[in-house]
Amino acid sequence: MYDYLIVGAGLFGCVFAHEATKKGKKCLVIDKRDHVGGNVYCENVDGINVHKYGAHIFHTNDKAIWDYVNQFAAFNNYVNSPVSISKGKLYNLPFNMNTFYQLWGTKTPEEAKTIIESQIKEFGSKNPENLEEQALSLIGKDVYETLIKEYTEKQWGKKATELPAFIIKRLPVRYTFNNNYFNDAYQGIPIGGYNKIIDGLLKGIDIKTNVDFFKDKDELSSMAKKIVFTGKIDEFYNYKYGNLEYRSLRFENTKLNTENLQGNAVVNYNDSKVPYTRIIEHKHFEFGKQKHTVITKEFSEQWTPEKEAYYPINNDENQKKYQAYKELSLQEPHVIFGGRLAEYKYYDMHQIIASALQKTKKEFN
């Protein structure tokens, strides 16, 4: 008899299993996929770690979380500095003095600020009623039209005027020549890929892949005293209150006999006539020197229940449904719900690790 059956070998399930094992508990980790690691899983393609479920860059401000992941892998000093292509021109991201120079030729913060402030003024003082108005009120029309509008419309499959304003809460603007996408104190890619961290977390723990909890729920549940469930909460309750909706992604991977295709790990494509949102060139995450390269074109797609669920759609209807499922989950004495699918919430990796550590602390203290 196991102490815990852990459904889902993503970061949440793996951190929980690791901490429970340290406390002397016996765990079985299952996953319906044919591998462990959940969405941080890397597939080795001829020596290049391909981020199979989308580009993952680790970043955190929390020293304890940074030390935690560094137990399992050393990190390189990769800094995420994406670029964006719009109407044939290339721009640095996030919006900073380099971007403003590329847009307007401005060389000082004061020159750039003057343009941005005058464009924000053009929008006036009305309350933004949709994403387009929100962006215009925060950054003005040039940055919006060149680098936000069409990219966002591709991401969500909707016109910016039909998207709610709250999707953009703030737009980080930097009046320095700094292309580092994140502001966090710690950032990097685990040397050898994320699988190293997952393998370290799961060392010595029983694992079964290709096992879908719902195909054998009763038997699997009878194998352990408690369940840690990291799958979809609506599926756990047999969609009693309906499906929780997501936005999905499709990835097209290609191996090329080129040493360096785009010179950067992440290149965004703003224009609506380009069907994908970005191209990832994976070797650059690890400063690879191979003679070949592997690229992934990322397409944003309408989600249907048979597709992978990536980004929760946080509107009132879905939040209401989630709250109803959450109410049910609070009445389960033997099931712990955690992770992005069970909590219907977008989490970065450092946040999911913090959340799993918090849940284990509650369970074992």
Question: What residue ranges bind ligand FAD (CB under 6 A)?
Answer: 7-13, 30-33, 38-40, 54-58, 212-214, 230-231, 249, 310, 339-341, 347-350, 352
By beta-carbon proximity to ligand FAD, the closer residue of 60 and 146 is 60
Is 247 in the active site?
Answer: yes
Is 250 in the active site?
Answer: no
By beta-carbon proximity to ligand FAD, the closer residue of 8 and 140 is 8
Give the number of other Cβ atoms within 10 Å of residue 142's Cβ.
14
Q: What is the SS3 assignment for 279-331? A: EEEHHHHHCCCCCCEEEEEEEEEECCCCCCCCEECCCHHHHHHHHHHHHHHCC
Catalytic choice (142, 145, 301, 348): 348
Is 142 in the active site?
Answer: no
By beta-carbon proximity to ligand FAD, the closer residue of 116 and 342 is 342
Q: Sign (positive/negative) of CA torsion 5, 11, 15, 21?
A: positive
The pair of structure tokens assigned to 221 is 């549940």
Nearest-approach distance from CB 214 to ligand FAD, in angstroms: 5
By beta-carbon proximity to ligand FAD, the closer residue of 58 and 95 is 58
- Strand positions, DSSP E, the chain: 2-7, 27-30, 42-45, 48-51, 58-60, 83-86, 89-92, 186-188, 206-208, 224-229, 246-256, 266-269, 278-281, 293-302, 311-312, 335-337
Catalytic choice (247, 276, 301, 347): 247
Nearest-approach distance from CB 232 to ligand FAD, in angstroms: 6
By beta-carbon proximity to ligand FAD, the closer residue of 85 and 201 is 201
Is 33 in the active site?
Answer: no
Is 340 in the active site?
Answer: no
Provide Rg for the chain, Cα atoms: 22
Residues 6+ apart with CB under 8 A from 47: 288, 290
Nearest-approach distance from CB 79 to ligand FAD, in angstroms: 13
Picking from 39, 31, 37, the residue whose alpha carbon sits closest to that of residue 8 is: 31
Nearest-approach distance from CB 13 to ligand FAD, in angstroms: 6
Catalytic choice (33, 78, 133, 278): 278
Going from the C-alpha of 4 to that of each of 92, 102, 332, the distances in angstroms are 47, 55, 15
- Angle between helix 349-364 and 63-70 (nearest 10): 90
Nearest-approach distance from CB 144 to ligand FAD, in angstroms: 24
Active site residues: 170, 174, 247, 278, 298, 346, 348
